[in-house]
Structure formats: structure tokens, C-alpha cells
Amino acid sequence: MRATWTFALTLTWIALALACGGTKPGDDEVGEGTDTSASDSGDTQTTSDADSSSTSDSSSTSDTSSTGDGDGDLIDCDPLPPPSGTIVQLTPADAASLPQQVLDAQAGTTFVFADGTYDLSGANLLHVITPGLTFRSASDDRDAVILDAGYAIGEIFLVAASDTTIAHLTVQRAFYHPIHVTGGSAANVENVRIHDVVVRDPGQQGIKINTSPEGYYADAGEVSCSRVELSDAGRTQVTDCYTGGIDAHSARGWVIRDNSFEGFWCEQGLSEHAIHFWVTGRDTLVERNTIVDCARGIGFGLGEQGNGNTRDYGDDPCPEAAGGYLGHIDGLIRNNMIFAARPELFASQSGFDSGIALEQACGALAVHNTIVALEQPFVSIEYRWPNTHATLRNNLTTHGIVERDGGSASLEGNLADQGLEHFVDPSTGELHLVAGSLAIDAGVVLAPGVADADFEGEPRDGAPDVGADERSP
């Protein structure tokens, strides 16, 4: 699939607020399996907001032009600047000593990995408890540095410190999560950046984000320009279909942009989403991502009561809910391409479930997304449960946009249940609009800053096209 995205990120929650005015297998499987990772105990306790002043809005980034699909070739996917301060040079021979080196590191240290495969199967996880550490390849080639757990350890990175950066490398085959970000032992963790990383074949979720055992949160992070994938070989290592791309609990203000996700489905059972923020997540920005052959694409919330936990932000962000459970609060899903074509996915027990699912998602805004399935899915987009009050604008889908179980949404400018004639080559996932498509100029004008440009950074004109692509003359 060709997925390309670039434009200024301007998350204006005031504008969003102004803009918002059957059964199937796995519907209520809010814990599709048991997460047994030792550091995940925060998942099973109800917590209150430990830091109500933590960052609420996504930090501003800018993209101006380019093409790519999570391969690091977007304008805002450039390599990190050269390292400074304390630098630790590593080779594959340092794999066994690396966990202790990370524990001993001073704030501001950069670990620079020489090309090669680092066998961590006989080591411990890399437990990041010191703020300001950076982990990156020397070559800035994410395919040239591979940290391989061989399914022998639960996690490769366990991040519990703010201002951590992981960039330009591959992490693969952790028994649980190749990257796990949690709150700290005494404060929230913020500003974790995962940039230009390949996350391959997790035993559970590729990137896990959740509360620490002490009840603190992981907020205001970013996953950018990365590839998260489950191969056929990796799928055999998953138990009870408890897998997914990014799985975030009670997290606020994360940006998930310019990534590609592929292969999160199972022959039996229903995988979590490629991108999933729930358990009262808030202010998540999901944009310009490519999602290919995943059972579920993007999810805000899950189930009527989630997993039984919640987060108290100390305000009343959704008066319509009257104090009821919220799976997700506000947030913006824009300019994503979601594509399902693989026959094995459709032949699996759960098939292609949904492109975008909003469940107890109050204030969610989904605009200018393209969702294409070559066979029948359950839905393209669903909004579900009474505390979902969403806004759906200018989405282009091959199948239904469906209300379920009392959800509500404001719908305008969408084209649902469309044929494949809109797209250049849908058989290969080339989802640019063709000349003459009825999606051209068929959208409604959105408030400034909501979706000013398309998935390639092409500006939208006064008569915007429906979907993620704005066709150039």
C-alpha cells in the first residue's frame, strides 16, 4: 500500500468541541486473553489521576511534503540529530551486559548501536528508569540493528522514565511486548518517543502503554515513522489471539503518526486493533497511518465497561455521560488508510471486524479516513454504546458506517458502502482517487486546523474530497 502523509499538526480541541455537536464474535472480549507480563500489574487496579496537570494536548509537529509508508522517508521522519553528551558505543558482543549498563546510565546518556543482531535471549530486559536516555543505531538504518529476544524474555524495553527516545532500530520476538511504556514509581511518565523503529512479531502487543503498579500514567508520548508487524511465523507464537499493534490503557495526549501496521489477526479469536487507546484514554491523535490486513484497525474504547478500570482526570469532560464509564475522551482520527485484502484474514474466525471502532468514546472525531475491504467485513466504522458521542466527517468506506447499542454520532460528508471504482488500483491497495470519482469535491468543509491537508500534505481546497486523498488536478 502506498501511504503518504504530511501536514501541520494542529490539534485544536475547541474546534473539535464545536464540531461535535446485531452481535458478532468477540464483541465483548475486552481482555482477549490474560496479560501476564510481570510489570503489567497496573492493568488490574482502578486508579485516580495522580497528576491532573499532566499534558493534555498533543505536542505540535509539522510535516510539509514527502511520501512514505512508515519507512522513515517522510519529511518529518528524518533521522535524529547527531548525539551529544555522554555516548555509549555498543556492538553485538555487549548484548549480555546491556541491561546493567542501562540501569547504571546517567540522565542524558545516548546508547549507540553498531550494525548487527543483538541476541538478548540470555539477558534481562532493558529497564529504563533514568530520564532522558536515548537508544539509536549508529547508521540510522533501522533494518541494520536488530534487538532479538527470541521469545525468551518478556520485554525488550520496559520504559518507566520520561524523555526516553528509541529510534532507528528493530526490536523483535519478545514473549510479551518488544516495547512497554508505563508510568513511573512516583510520578507520571511523559514525552517517550518511539521513532523510525520496526516492532516485529510480539508474543502479545507490539507496543504496550499502561499504568504503573503505583498508579501513575504514561502520557504525551509519540510513535512515529515506524513499522509494527505480525508475520505468519510470528502469529504461531501468539496465545489465545491476545495480540495487537499498539495497546494503550489510560494514556493521555499521545500522537500516533506516519506509521504502518500489518498482519494483526488470528485464525481463531479476535485480535486487538492495530492502534488501540482505551480504559479512559484521552486526547489521542491518530493520523496518516497505513493499516494493512489487521482484524481491527483503530479503536477508541472497547466494551461497555472496558476492563473494569478507569482514570479520573479531575474534571467533567463529557457531561452527556452523567458520570458513566468512558472508554476514551475526545481525540482525533484523521487521514488514515485502512486496507484489508488477504483471503486468509477474511477466512479466519473473526475476519475483518472493523476499520474504526468507537466504544464509549465521548467527543471522538474521525475525519477524512479511507477504509477499503476487498471482501465483506463486519463494518467499516462503528460507533457503539450510549456514552459514545462522536463526529464522523468525510470518510470514504467500502462498507457500512453503523450505529450499535445506543451510540450516537453526527454524520456529514461521508460516503459509505462504496464500490472500488473510486481507487487507482484497489487490488494492490493503491487507494488514490481516480479522475471522475464521485468522492472528488463531495466533502464538507471542516473547521480550520482539523484536516487542512490530505495524507500526502496536499492542501484541501474549498470543496474537499472525501477520504484521505485530495486528488490534485
Residue 68 pLDDT greater than 80, yes or no: no
Q: What is the pLDDT of residue 408?
A: 98
pLDDT surpassing 60 at residue 6: no
Does any domain span residue 123? no
Please state the domain count of the chain: 1
Residue 120 near residue 98, CB atoms below 8 Å = yes
Residue 4 in any domain: the answer is: no
pLDDT at 64: 29
Cα 94 to its chain centre, rounded Å, is: 32
Question: Is 464 domain-assigned?
Answer: no
408-420 residue pLDDT tens: 999 999 999 999 9
In sequence order, which residues have a C-beta less than 8 Å from that of residue 200 and are 6 or more positions away?
A: 170, 171, 172, 173, 178, 206, 228, 229, 230, 231, 234
Angle ∠(74,77,82) on CA atoms, nearest 5: 140
435 falls in which pLDDT band (50, 70, 90)?
very high
Alpha-helix residue ranges (DSSP H) falling in 368-458: none
Domain-located, residue 439 = no
Q: Which pLDDT does position 23 carry in this prediction?
A: 42
The continuous run of DSSP H or E covering 168 comes out as strand 165-172
Q: Where does the pLDDT of residue 48 fall: very low under 50, low under 70, confident under 90, or very high at 90 and above?
A: very low
Query: Does position 50 have pLDDT exceeding 80, yes or no?
Result: no
Please enumerate in sequence order all residues whose Cβ is within 8 A of that of 151, keeping only pairs 6 or more positions apart, or say none. Answer: 121, 173, 174, 175, 203, 237
Is 350 a member of any domain? yes
**pLDDT for the residue 195:** 98
Share of the chain residues as helix, strand and coil, in percent rounded to the nearest 5:
10, 35, 60
Q: Specify if 210 maps to a domain.
A: yes
Q: CA 285, CA 331: separation in Å to the nearest integer? A: 6
Report residue 120's pLDDT band, with 50, 70 and 90 as the boundaries.
very high
Cell triple for residue 379?
463494518
Instruction: Provide the CATH number for the domain around residue 242.
Output: 2.160.20
C-alpha gyration radius of the chain: 21
pLDDT in tens, 305-322: 999 999 999 999 999 999
Check whether 163 has a pLDDT greater than 60: yes
Q: How far is CA 436 from CA 7, 111, 368, 399, 424, in A?
A: 25, 52, 18, 20, 11
Alpha carbon 102 to its chain centroid, in Å, reads 27
99: three-class secondary structure by DSSP? helix
Per the prediction, the chain carries an average pLDDT of 88
Q: Is the pLDDT of residue 465 over 50?
A: yes
pLDDT over 90 at 58, yes or no: no
**pTM attached to this predicted model:** 0.88
pLDDT of residue 11: 34
Q: Identify the band that residue 427 occupies on the pLDDT scale cut at 50, 70 and 90.
A: very high
Residues 7-46 have pLDDT tens digits of 333 333 333 333 333 444 445 444 433 333 333 333 333 3
pLDDT at 76 over 90: no
- The CA angle 280-281-285, to the nearest 5 degrees, is 155
The pLDDT value recorded for residue 306 is 96
Pairing of strands 255-257, 126-128: unpaired
Per-residue confidence (pLDDT) for residue 212, from 0 to 100: 97
Q: How confident is the model at residue 457 (pLDDT cuts 50, 70, 90)?
A: confident
Residue 368 lies in a domain: yes
Report if residue 234 sits inside a domain.
Answer: yes
The tens digit of pLDDT for each residue in 175-207 reads 999 999 999 999 999 999 999 999 999 999 999
Contact 278, 328 (CB under 8 A): yes
Residue 269 lies in domain:
13-81+144-433
Q: Give DSSP secondary structure letters for 227-265.
A: EEE--HHHHTT-STT--EEEEEES-BS-EEES-EEE---
Q: What is the pLDDT of residue 65?
A: 30
Is 14 buried (19+), middle (13-18) or exposed (0-12) by CB count in 10 A?
A: exposed
pLDDT for 348-407, tens place per residue? 999 999 999 999 999 999 999 999 999 999 999 999 999 999 999 999 999 999 999 999
Mean pLDDT over residues 65-86, rounded?
67
